[in-house]
């Protein structure tokens, strides 16, 4: 059985995406409209503040049960979690994420570019992280990009985020956790470039692994349309191989 491709964009609450992606609609309706076309979203605002229970409940009410949220961990808490008070911080940091229940696809913990590799701090984070919450770590400093770091993540079933950006060559896709997590952060992607990424994802999906893929926000909704295209392309390829 093939894995699931959970593809979407970073954020959804962009009224300017009408009429290219959204019809004219009230802001409160945007997530419902988004979820009718895409199966996952990477939440942006949780990076700046912890989500309130009533906000999470409102989000859940607008999406189907098979929709998945990837939650960006709050930035201050993320830094403290990679520090001396990992255990205490992670309890506070993760408590709101449990409100998403089965629709929590992943928690993305971003380690900024001014934080260099520290195996002891990473080990404390991974030991303290709850095993029932799917963790993805995005390292922005090159010192973390090492097989030993990947092995440490793998030992704790944590996924290493692969990030494709205009500033660096395309990243490797290698499985460390139970699923892949790919952020497509270039300003634009051609159909050929998206097809190349789909081709790289297919072997993992065919092996039964899920993959989370998120394109960056843009001003008009073109990224969301690219996500729709990518989802359709991968589905067609998987269906043709199963036939």
- Residues 102-153 have pLDDT tens digits of 999 999 999 999 999 999 999 999 999 999 999 999 999 999 999 999 999 9
- The encoded tokens of residue 190 equal 């051609």
83 pLDDT band (50/70/90 cuts)?
confident
- Residues 22-47 have pLDDT tens digits of 998 788 999 999 999 999 999 999 99
CA quadruple 208, 178, 233, 71: dihedral sign: positive
User: Which CATH number do you get for residue 168?
Assistant: 3.20.20.410
Strand order across the 159-160 sheet:
40-43, 68-72, 104-111, 135-139, 159-160
Q: Domain range holding 131? A: 5-242
- Residues 10-25 have pLDDT tens digits of 999 999 999 999 998 7
What total of structural domains would you count in the chain?
A: 1
Rounded to two decimals, the pTM is 0.96
Coil, helix or strand for 166?
coil
């Amino acid at each position: 059985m093939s894995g699931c491709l959970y593809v979407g964009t970073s954020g959804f609450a962009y009224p300017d995406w009408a009429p290219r992606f959204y019809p004219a609609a009230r802001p409160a309706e945007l997530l419902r409209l988004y979820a009718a076309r895409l199966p996952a979203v990477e939440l942006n605002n949780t990076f700046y503040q912890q989500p309130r229970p009533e906000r999470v409940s409102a989000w859940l009410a607008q999406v189907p049960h098979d929709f998945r949220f990837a939650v960006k961990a709050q930035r201050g808490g993320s830094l403290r979690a990679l520090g001396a008070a990992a255990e205490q911080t992670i309890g506070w940091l993760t408590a709101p994420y449990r409100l998403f229940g089965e629709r929590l696809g992943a928690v993305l913990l971003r380690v900024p570019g001014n934080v260099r590799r520290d195996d002891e701090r990473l080990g404390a984070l991974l030991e303290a992280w709850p095993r029932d919450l799917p963790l993805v770590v995005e390292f922005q400093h090159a010192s973390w990009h090492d097989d030993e770091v990947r092995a440490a993540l793998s030992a704790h079933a944590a996924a290493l985020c692969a990030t494709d950006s205009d500033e660096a060559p395309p990243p490797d896709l290698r499985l460390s956790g139970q699923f892949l997590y790919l952020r497509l952060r270039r300003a634009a992607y051609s159909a050929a470039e998206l097809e190349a990424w789909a081709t790289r994802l297919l072997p993992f999906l065919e092996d039964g692994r899920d993959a989370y893929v998120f394109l960056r926000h843009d001003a008009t909704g073109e990224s969301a349309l690219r996500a729709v295209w990518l989802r359709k392309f991968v589905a067609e390829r998987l269906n043709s191989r199963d036939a």
